[in-house]
């Protein structure tokens, strides 16, 4: 599975998939300026993995299983778009590590 991390400013949530540890989450987060800023490291010019991991360890990182998204490609007017559909039974689950800030 592809490793991916994201920050949702609307609900102040950082989540990651394809990882198993806070260290791996920190390795992904250090590459994303919006995430390091959300973690309060905006004054640090180039935060290290260790600095990000230290901040993440102070937060309540939780693992949860969510239904895997089912995607469908649709085409109209010569454009192909990937449309997420509702999760369907049997589509599988994905583990998400995340926290609310």
Q: Which pLDDT tens digit goes with each residue over 42-94?
A: 888 889 999 999 999 999 888 888 777 666 677 778 787 766 665 455 567 77
84 in a domain, yes or no?
Answer: no
Selection from 36-40, 77-81, 93-97 with the highest mean pLDDT? 36-40
CA–chain centroid gap for 2, Å, is: 11
Task: Output phi, psi for 67, to 5 deg.
Answer: -60, 135
Higher pLDDT, residue 43 or 23: 23
**pTM of the predicted protein model:** 0.72
Total number of domains constituting the chain: 1
* pLDDT above 90 for 28: yes
The residues, ordered by sequence, that sit 6+ positions from 51 with a Cβ below 8 Å of its Cβ are 41, 44
Is the CB of residue 50 less than 8 Å from the CB of residue 29? no
Q: Helix 22-29 to helix 49-58 angle, to the nearest 10 degrees?
A: 130
Q: What per-residue confidence (pLDDT) applies to 85?
A: 60
50 in a domain, yes or no?
Answer: yes
Domain that residue 54 falls in: 4-67+93-100
């Amino acid at each position: 599975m592809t490793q991916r991390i994201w920050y949702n400013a609307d609900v102040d949530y950082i989540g990651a998939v394809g990882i198993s540890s806070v260290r791996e989450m920190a390795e992904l987060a250090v590459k994303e300026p919006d995430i390091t800023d959300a973690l309060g490291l905006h004054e640090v010019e180039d935060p290290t993995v260790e600095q990000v991991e230290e901040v993440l360890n102070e937060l309540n990182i939780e693992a949860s299983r969510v239904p895997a998204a089912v995607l469908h490609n649709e085409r109209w007017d010569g454009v192909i778009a990937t449309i997420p559909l509702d999760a369907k039974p049997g589509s599988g689950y994905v583990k998400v590590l995340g926290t609310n800030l």
